[in-house]
């Protein structure tokens, strides 16, 4: 396979990446919403989304979005999301909002978060989620606490035993993502190198052998 890097004339965005645990999520979100910003929380199961939404409902304007809503309700929720944190949302619309959802937030919706908090997931999906962070450069009036884009990665689902995330994605890819998780990511420059670092491996890799044996 031959690869050739194409020139890119668009904006380059540097995102700081930090790790946290589930117990940190409420306070991280409050630090932003109390200062007028909006937060996106993307987790790997509907149950976790419902849990965080319930924990935050007394401290913020919470929008919950996942694939288990019936289609008419889901359509209404998408419209509310686009109005509140979409490309044309106002500072007042966004103020104090927390969007909590699952993988359905990774794609399609043109939404913009001031801060992103996400469960650990395979690198390619993590980068898609980060694509919802400071998505539109025209936003010049973000609160001071979120002037620079920051993504917090929740590690509980990796370090726990038999977690739902491990059942969805497997130990191997989650550990490979953790191993290759940098302190900062430059978009779009780092997308291909990071994805290849996670998905390029030898079958002699001890972790791969363990994962392969588990699947069998």
The pLDDT assigned to 138 comes to 65
CA distance 80 to 33: 18
The pLDDT assigned to 213 comes to 57
CA distance 187 to 57: 32
What residue ranges of the chain have pLDDT lower than 70? 138-139, 202-216
CA distance 143 to 91: 9
Cα 45 off chain centre by: 13
pTM summary value: 0.90
The pLDDT assigned to 204 comes to 63
The pLDDT assigned to 66 comes to 94
The pLDDT assigned to 148 comes to 95
The pLDDT assigned to 206 comes to 60
């Amino acid at each position: 396979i031959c690869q050739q890097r194409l020139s890119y004339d668009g904006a380059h965005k540097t995102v700081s990446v930090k790790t946290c645990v589930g117990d940190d999520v409420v306070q991280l979100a409050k630090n932003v919403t109390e200062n007028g910003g909006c937060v996106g929380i993307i987790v790997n199961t509907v149950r976790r989304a419902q849990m965080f939404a319930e924990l935050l409902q007394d401290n913020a304007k919470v929008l919950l979005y996942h694939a288990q809503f019936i289609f008419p309700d889901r359509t209404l929720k998408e419209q509310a999301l686009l109005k509140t944190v979409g490309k044309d949302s106002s500072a007042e619309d966004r103020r104090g909002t927390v969007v909590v959802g699952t993988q359905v937030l990774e794609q399609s919706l043109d939404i913009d978060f001031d801060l992103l908090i996400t469960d650990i997931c395979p690198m390619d999906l993590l980068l898609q989620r980060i694509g919802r962070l400071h998505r539109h450069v025209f936003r010049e009036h973000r609160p001071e606490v979120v002037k620079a884009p920051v993504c917090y990665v929740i590690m509980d689902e990796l370090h726990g035993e038999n977690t739902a995330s491990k059942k969805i994605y497997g130990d191997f890819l989650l550990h490979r993502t953790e191993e290759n998780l940098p302190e900062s990511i430059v978009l779009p420059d780092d997308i291909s190198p990071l994805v290849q670092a996670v998905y390029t491996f030898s079958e002699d890799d001890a972790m791969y052998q363990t994962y392969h044996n588990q699947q069998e």
